[in-house]
Each structure stands twice: as structure tokens, then as C-alpha cells.
Structure 1
Amino acid sequence: MSQFWSPIVQSLRPYMAGEQPAISGLIKLNTNENPYGPSPKALAAIAAATDDTLRLYPDPSALRLRQAIAARHGLDVGDVFAGNGSDEVLAHVFQGLLNHDAPLLFPDVTYSFYPTYCRLYGIDFRAVPVDENLQVRIADYGQDCGAIILPNPNGPTGIARPLSEIEALIGGHPDRPVVIDEAYVDFGGESAVPLIKKYPNLLVVQTFSKSRGLAGLRVGFAMGQRPLIEALERVKDSFNSYPLNRLALAGAVASWEDEDWFERHRALLMASRERLALELKGLGFVVLESAANFVFARHPGRDGAALALALRSRAILVRHFPAERTRDFLRISIGTDAECDRLVEALREILG
């Protein structure tokens, strides 16, 4: 702590990102990165954009990218916002749409950046408990609030709620912003994007980091009716007018347009997820039903932290969450089939 820190810095408890260590031969299943990498067309577009135009600022409105996203979903370009990864988009969402007199609602087991944003922006929040099976109960959100944010599928559980329940949540709070965080929706969830034209209070946030294999490029976006998007633009242009660089814009547009690559590789990943879940169950793990690019699993006879450490000693990284309700679980990102096989082999050895 320094005498030069402002009071807010002294009070912060920053979000802890997953490890990114440089270890030879590492199998990295801890941060939900796509094992298949980005579309070759995205890589070619990034290479082509690496020229003299880098001396120029990028398009502050990310128009080409927003046009491509809007066209795919039948939206107006003014209904799409783009930012430097979905984390930055969410930061603008928290500041521009979720800071009200009544508390913000989100699950008590969820993306741990949410309470961090609340502390950073001084937002009162209430964590709504998930049930004994770590599932979100939509009925529990029928209470007074300033706004709601809900990941669907949820993290770190991977559990998705059906679109009918999401619509009930949105419709039940017509005078409050409802944000659906769909970072993992492409792996088996039902997107709320088709509800946007019907509900002026709905904002949907997605990312290029997971299903499109572009975590290192940092591209995220939000979709909603124009007044919600305008709020995000006002925050962005009071913070950083150029959040997406020229390479990110070129790669994201090319990735978005390569639908064949997207469909083929997400299908591969979902098949690998189901295969890994079966293998883990065969080793005695309890595995939650996942609609994401990871599984959340616990072994009834083993400590979660000890299992994570034992895997790390074998150069396999998984994510362990030490909080009360999740400390027995491991969140295991889906790798290639070969990586998943090595994980299962290591677990079989550890379990004896």
C-alpha cells in the first residue's frame, strides 16, 4: 500500500485471472481458450492488415465489424457495440447501465469479475444463491432491484437455462436493465438475441475469445436496442475512443465471416466435451451438465485443491475455485482429444 494510492485503490480486491505460465510441454486447461485456434482466414486478414496503415488510428466505431454482426442477427448496426474483449464491454455495461439506487442482482456462484466491477464503480449488489445443484433459479430474481446480470451458460458451472426462463426473467422486470452474458452460448446454449427487438431492457454480451479462438485478440460485443447501445458509446467515448486496433478489427471481421470454420470446430469441441464428461464419470467424478467449453467436476473422495496441485505437478493446468460452494470442484477447459486423454490418464494415476 502506498501513500499515493487513492482511497478506491486501497479498497479494491482485483479479479484474479487464470495463470498463463511459460512451462514446456504444458497442457493448459485452465482458462477456457479454444484448442483449435482461430480461423486461417482471420490469420490471413491480420497479416494483410500489418502494413503502413498501422500509422493511422483505427475506425473508432468498428463499423465493418458491427455491420457484419448486425447482418447475421437481423439487427440495425446501431444496435451493436464493440469493445476490447467482453471484459471491457462489461465494464462499460456496469458503469453505464447497472449502477442504480437499488441493488444489482447476479448469482452467488458466477463470473467473479462481477463483484470486482461493483466495488470499482461503487455499485450496490446482492448475490442471489444458486440451488444445491449450483443451478440458477429464475424465480429467485422476482425481487426489487436496480438491474440484473446473468451469464447463460453460467460460469464456472457451465449450466445453461432454457430461453423460456430467460424471457420470463426479462419480461418480469420491464423497467430494469437485464444483461445476459453469453460468453459460452455457442457451445450448446440458447441465445437471447432473438428477444432483442421485443424487449427494450435486454442487452446481450458475447465474445470472440471462446468459440472463435481469438482470446489473444481481445474482441467483445454487445447487442440491444439503440438507447442501451448509446449508453455504452457515451461511456466508451469518455474513456477510450479507439478500443479496437486495426489488426483486431481485421481478424474479427474475417473470423465472423468464416462460418464453416466456426461450425466445424465448435461441433468438434462439443463432442470432445461429452467424451471427457463420460471419462470423468467413469473415474467416479460428479460432472455438472455443461453447455460451455469446459466441464465443472468434483470427486467425492478427493479434495479439489489437492487434485489441481497433483495435476499441476504433471504439467496439466486446470482451474480451482476455493470459495465455500465450489472448493471441491475443478473447472476443466476442453482441449484437443489428445490433451483430454492425457488429463484422464493423469487422473487415473492420481486416483490410483
Structure 2
Amino acid sequence: MNRFWSRLVHELHPYVPGEQPRMSNLVKLNTNENPFGPSPRVWSAIRAEAAETLRLYPDPEATALRRALAAYHEVRPEQVFVGNGSDEVLAHAFVALLKQDAPLLLPDISYGFFQAWCRLFDIRAETVPLDSALRVRIADYARPAGAIIFPNPNAPTGIALGRAEIAALLEMHPGQPVVVDEAYVDFGAETVIPLVASYPNLLVVRTMSKSRALAGLRVGYAIGEPGLIEALTRVKNSFNSYPLGRPAQAGAIAALEDETHFQRSLGSVIEQRDRLTQALTRLGFEVLPSAANFVFARHPARDGAGLAADLRARAVLVRHFANPRISDYLRITVGTNSQTDALLAALARCLGQDTDAN
């Protein structure tokens, strides 16, 4: 506390990001980073851009990147907005689209930043409980709303809705903005970007941190009808004219150009996710069906916080959430083959099992 703080700062309960420890020989599976790295073309593009133009301000409209994203997703450049990571894009959407007179609807178990932004921007929100299987149920959103937001796949559960289900939600609320956060969609879910052409109230937010392995560059974007994009742009230009540096823009374009690397990386993550799910099941875990680059699992014999602490003592870091409905679950990032080996060995020791979990 400090006497110079504003009343707003006193009242905030900030989002807590995943731990970024400075420990050697740590198996880090807590922040859903892609272990297989970005395309080699990214490094070349960043080096070239930094060597030639780092003294200059970047294009505030990120014109070349927006064109590349539009071509990749088969939309028009005026339907694309870019920002400094999807968190910034989402925050702009909260101000530009989700601050309505009626309450914002969002899942009770979802991305923690959503509640933080509601408090920061003074947005009235109502949480809609996931069902007993921790799934978003579209029928539960058949209620008055000013706007709706949810991740697909959901985080931290990893469970995805199908495109037809989201289309049904859009039909249910044609007069309200609906924001779908597709941070993890590339790992096994259906994108709803094709629905943008039919639903002018739909905004789809994506990141290049996960499937493109560019978490350190901070590149996020949104796709929607031009009117929604204009709203985001007005907020952006009232906050920061230059959210994306030149190396970030160049690296993102290079990543989009290497589809072979992208598909190979996705395949590796999915292969390791399947292996991890099967091995955890053999260890006695309940594992939710995941369409993301992580799994959400609990063991009937252990509480989540204690098991996470035991793993950390063995230099394996996973994510635990204190929400009462999910406090026994661990969110475990899909890692490399050797990281999975280390995790499974540590879990077997934590559980007192001598059998081979692999």
C-alpha cells in the first residue's frame, strides 16, 4: 500500500501470470509455451529488420502484417487488428466492445485476466457456471446480456466447443458483441473465423505465442467485421500508437510464411499430448479431453496444491489454480519427449508408484 495510490489501484486484484523462475535444470510446464520453437525464418527476418531499421518507429498500422494475416485467414486487411500480444488485443476489446449497459457474460472457470479487466474497466459481469463435466454449455447463455466472451478451447480446462455450437450462440445473441479467444485453437479445435462473414457481432482473437512459438515477441491479433476493428483501433490509438515493434512484425510475417514448420510443430505437440494423456491415465489421473497444448488433470488420491508443490520440489513446474471447483486439478503444458519423461518419473515418485508410467 502507498498513500499516493488512486482508489482504483487500491481496489484492484491483478491477474497473476505463471511463474517464470530462475532455476537451472527445471522442467517448466506451467505457462503453455511451445517447446519446439519458431520457424528458422523468424530468426532471419528479425536479424535483418533489427540491422536495417531499428532506429525508426514501426508502422503504427502494421500494414504488411495485417495483409499477411488477412491472406492466411482468407479475409480482408480491414478485418484484421494487431496488438502487443492477445492480452492487449483482448483488453482493447473489453473497452471497445464489452463495456455495455447490460452485464457481460463469461464462464465461471476461464482465463483469469477476464475478471481482472472487468475490475479495471468497471464492467459489470455475470459468470455462467461450467457444467458438471467442466464444459461450456451454450444453452446456459440464453439470458439477457450486454456482451459475451469465452476462450475456445477454454482455459484452463482445454475443452473445446464446435463451430456449430458457437454459431448457435451467435444466433441466440445477434444484437450483442461476442468475443471468442482462440489462443489454443490450432491444437485441435475448429476456428470460428469463417463465421465472421455471417455474424457482424463476432470478434475472434488469436495469438502467435502458442502454436507459432513466438511468446517472446508478443504478437496478437483479432479478426472481425471492419466496424469492430475500427472500435479496437480507436482504443489502440488512444493508448499506444506503436504497440508492435519492427522485429515483431517482421518475425510474425516470417512465421506465417513457413507452413511446413507450423504443421510439423502442431503434429509434435499433439503427439506428445496424446502420449501424456495416456500415461497420466495409467497413473490414475482423470484427464479432461484437451484440444490445447496442455492437459488438465487430477488424481483422486492427492490434492492439487500439494501435488504441485511436490513436483516443484523435484524441479518440475506445473500450474495450480485455487478456484474451489478446480483446486484438485493441475494444468500441465505439453513438453518435449524428454520433458514428458521427467514429469512422469516425478509424478510416479510423488504417488509412490514404481511402475513404468510411459
- With normalisation by structure 2, the TM-score equals 0.98
1:232 maps to which residue?
232
Q: Is the aligned partner of 1:109 residue 2:97? A: no
2:42 maps to which residue?
42
2:126 maps to which residue?
126
Q: Is the aligned partner of 1:169 residue 2:169? A: yes
| Structure 2 stretches lacking a partner, 5+ long | 353-358
Q: Distance in 2 between matches of 1:67 and 1:254?
A: 13
2:315 maps to which residue?
315
Farther-moved stretch of structure 1 (342-351 vs 277-286): 342-351
Q: Distance in 1 between matches of 2:35 and 2:236?
A: 32
Per-residue displacement from partner, 1:150-189 (whole Å, max 9, x unpaired)? 1100000000011110110111111000011000000000
Q: Distance in 1 between matches of 2:140 and 2:287?
A: 25
Alpha-carbon offset, residue 98 of structure 1: 0.2
1:192 maps to which residue?
192
1:306 maps to which residue?
306
Q: Distance in 2 between matches of 1:18 and 1:214?
A: 17
1:274-289 maps to which residues of 2 (within 5 A)?
274-289=274-289
* Contact 2:72–2:256 (CA under 8 A) maintained in structure 1: no
Q: Distance in 2 between matches of 1:90 and 1:213?
A: 19
Q: Distance in 2 between matches of 1:74 and 1:252?
A: 17
Supply the AA of the counterpart residue of 1:237. Answer: N
Q: Distance in 1 between matches of 2:160 and 2:133?
A: 13
Q: Distance in 2 between matches of 1:195 and 1:280?
A: 36
Per-residue displacement from partner, 1:186-225 (whole Å, max 9, x unpaired)? 0000000000011000000000000000001000000000
Q: Distance in 2 between matches of 1:256 and 1:47?
A: 17
Please state whether the residue corresponding to 2:54 is helix, strand or coil: helix
Q: Distance in 2 between matches of 1:219 and 1:262?
A: 16
Alpha-carbon offset, residue 246 of structure 1: 0.5
Per-residue displacement from partner, 1:90-134 (whole Å, max 9, x unpaired)? 010000000001000000000000000000000000010001111
Alpha-carbon offset, residue 18 of structure 1: 0.3
Q: Distance in 1 between matches of 2:67 and 2:265?
A: 24
Alpha-carbon offset, residue 38 of structure 1: 1.0
* Contact 2:284–2:299 (CA under 8 A) maintained in structure 1: yes
| Structure 1 stretches lacking a partner, 5+ long | none
1:68-87 maps to which residues of 2 (within 5 A)?
68-87=68-87
1:177-256 maps to which residues of 2 (within 5 A)?
177-256=177-256
Supply the AA of the counterpart residue of 2:332. Answer: I
Q: Distance in 2 between matches of 1:312 and 1:47?
A: 36
Q: Distance in 2 between matches of 1:74 and 1:281?
A: 40
Alpha-carbon offset, residue 52 of structure 1: 4.2
Q: Distance in 2 between matches of 1:204 and 1:269?
A: 23
* Contact 2:206–2:221 (CA under 8 A) maintained in structure 1: yes
1:16 maps to which residue?
16
Per-residue displacement from partner, 1:306-327 (whole Å, max 9, x unpaired)? 1100110111100000110110
Alpha-carbon offset, residue 85 of structure 1: 0.1
Supply the AA of the counterpart residue of 1:327. Answer: S
Per-residue displacement from partner, 1:55-76 (whole Å, max 9, x unpaired)? 1100000111110111122211
Q: Distance in 1 between matches of 2:21 and 2:317?
A: 10
RMSD (Å) for aligned C-alpha atoms: 0.6
2:345 maps to which residue?
345
- With normalisation by structure 1, the TM-score equals 0.99
Q: Distance in 1 between matches of 2:69 and 2:244?
A: 15
Q: How many residue pairs align between the two structures?
A: 352
Percent identity at matched positions? 60
Q: Distance in 1 between matches of 2:210 and 2:73?
A: 19
Alpha-carbon offset, residue 51 of structure 1: 1.6
Q: Distance in 2 between matches of 1:22 and 1:304?
A: 23
Q: Distance in 2 between matches of 1:88 and 1:73?
A: 21
1:325 maps to which residue?
325
Per-residue displacement from partner, 1:124-147 (whole Å, max 9, x unpaired)? 000100011111110000100100
1:261 maps to which residue?
261
